[in-house]
């Protein structure tokens, strides 16, 4: 019997955990697997081991594990595969396959455009868009966020886009926000985050301080959240994992 295991990152807050679980459960409603479970890499429960155990207890003979992560970094490349390898050794009779994070996908540009146009109905002559990722020491994160920004620029007539990061990568959000204070009337800030949370709170504080100092129009868009586009991307990642049989 086939099982689908969606692996979320986890959150230090109860609200963050619940938002992630709700996102995964909304997606799973449209996925035809007899067994479907949600688990977390860290900080929240159940962990991956408990998620696998639940699938096995329900009669799974194969488990397709998909990371609910926006970009490919150490969690997707090492941490989750390492834990799944441990579970493979615990349950050698189970066939495991492992999918990709959302990553770079053409469809995501339409979701970003929607978030931008929800927040403003007119660009000014001197406008800038900041696409803000969480950040990682993995260079693939910088490459992929730039590729996502490039898709957005190609598909829509918009102001120039710069990418930046909240943690562990350069340029930082604070640095790019300060630089944008020179010469731009309007700065549209697009958080490349699945859910609002502690990081978004820090962004709001920095934006409010700069708005007071410069008088610029600083517009903060909503986080991505659950959206049919991300559901579509998730379905494609599940299909890829099943077809390619990428084992742990």
Cα first-last separation, the chain: 19
Which range marks the domain in which residue 48 is found?
A: 2-103+227-244
Model confidence pLDDT, tens digit, residues 178-193: 999 888 999 999 999 9
Could you tell me if 128 and 173 lie in one domain? Answer: yes
Q: Measured in whole angstroms, how far is the alpha carbon of residue 45 from the centre of its chain? A: 19
The reported pLDDT for the residue numbered 176 is: 96
Around Cβ 116, how many Cβ atoms within 10 Å? 22
- Bridge partners of 220, per DSSP, are 189
**Alpha-carbon distances of 97 from 19, 40, 48, 68, 199, rounded to whole Å:** 26, 17, 14, 15, 32
| One domain for residues 70 and 120 | no
User: For the chain, what is the domain count?
Assistant: 2
If pLDDT is split at 50, 70 and 90, which confidence band does 248 have?
Answer: low
Tell whether 43 and 92 lie within a shared domain: yes
Same structural domain, 43 and 125? no
* Distance set, CA 101 to CA 39, 67, 71 (Å): 15, 5, 6
pLDDT of residue 195: 86
Do 68 and 167 have their domain in common? no
What is the C-alpha to C-alpha distance for residues 36 and 57, in angstroms, rounded to an integer? 12
Place of tokens 């007899």: 34
Q: Both 112 and 216 in a single domain?
A: yes
pLDDT at 39: 98
Domain at 40, CATH number? 3.40.50.1400
Residue 21's nearest CA partner among 3, 48, 39 is 39
133 & 214 share domain: yes
174 and 208 in a single domain? The answer is yes
Asked if residue 114 and residue 19 are part of one domain, the reply reads no
Name 138's Cβ contacts closer than 8 Å, sequence gap at least 6.
72, 73, 74, 77
Query: What pLDDT does 30 receive?
Result: 83
Over 80: is that where the pLDDT of 244 sits? no
For 197-238, what is each residue's pLDDT tens digit? 788 888 999 999 999 998 899 999 999 998 999 999 999 999
Q: Tell me how far CA of residue 148 lies from CA of 29, 108, 180, in angstroms.
A: 27, 8, 21
Q: What percentage of the chain exceeds 90 in pLDDT?
A: 79
| pLDDT surpasses 80 at 20 | yes
Q: Answer yes or no: do 116 and 51 share one domain.
A: no
Q: What is the pLDDT of residues 136-162, one digit of tens each?
A: 999 999 999 999 999 999 999 889 999
The pLDDT value recorded for residue 206 is: 93
The Cα 74–Cα 37 span in angstroms is: 23
Radius of gyration, alpha carbons of the chain: 19
Q: Which of 113, 130, 127 is nearest to 165 (CA)?
A: 130
Give 196-248 as a DSSP string. -SHHHHHHHHHHHHHHHHH--EEEEPPP--S-HHHHHHHHHHHHHHHHHT---
> 87-93 contacts: CB < 8 A, separation 24 or more?
87/48, 87/49, 87/52, 88/247, 88/248, 90/49, 90/52, 91/52, 91/56, 93/61
For the chain, what is the mean pLDDT? 93
Per-residue model confidence (pLDDT) at position 242: 82
Name the residue with higher pLDDT: 91 or 13.
91
Cα separation, 84 vs 98, whole angstroms: 9
pLDDT tens per residue across span 106-137: 899 999 999 999 999 899 989 999 999 999 99
CA 235 vs. chain centroid, Å, equals: 15
What is the pLDDT at residue 93? 95
Residues 56 and 116 in one domain: no
Residue 246 pLDDT grade (very low, low, confident, very high; cuts 50, 70, 90): low
Q: Are residues 149 and 47 in the same domain?
A: no
The torsion angles phi and psi of 7, rounded to 5 degrees, stand at -110, 110
């Amino acid at each position: 019997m086939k099982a689908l295991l969606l692996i979320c990152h986890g959150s230090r807050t109860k609200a963050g955990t619940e938002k992630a679980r709700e996102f995964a459960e909304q997606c799973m409603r449209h996925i035809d697997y007899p067994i479907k479970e949600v688990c977390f890499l860290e900080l929240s429960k159940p962990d991956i081991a408990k998620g696998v155990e639940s699938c096995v207890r329900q009669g799974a003979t194969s488990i397709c594990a998909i990371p609910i992560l926006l970009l490919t970094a150490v969690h997707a490349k090492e941490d989750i595969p390492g834990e799944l390898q441990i579970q493979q050794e615990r349950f050698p009779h189970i066939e495991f396959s492992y999918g990709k994070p959302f990553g770079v996908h053409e469809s995501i540009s339409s979701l970003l455009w929607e978030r931008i146009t929800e927040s403003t109905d007119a660009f000014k002559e001197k406008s800038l868009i900041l696409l803000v990722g969480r950040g990682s020491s993995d260079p693939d994160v910088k490459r992929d966020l730039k590729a996502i920004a490039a898709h957005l620029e190609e598909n829509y007539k918009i102001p120039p886009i710069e990418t930046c990061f909240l943690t562990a990568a350069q340029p930082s959000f604070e640095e790019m926000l300060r630089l944008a204070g020179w010469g731009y009337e309007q700065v549209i800030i697009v958080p490349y985050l699945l859910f609002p949370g502690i990081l978004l709170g820090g962004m709001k504080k920095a934006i409010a301080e700069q708005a007071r100092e410069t008088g610029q129009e600083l517009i903060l868009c909503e986080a991505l959240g659950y959206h049919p586009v991300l559901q579509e991307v998730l379905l494609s990642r599940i299909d890829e994992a099943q077809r390619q049989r990428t084992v742990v």
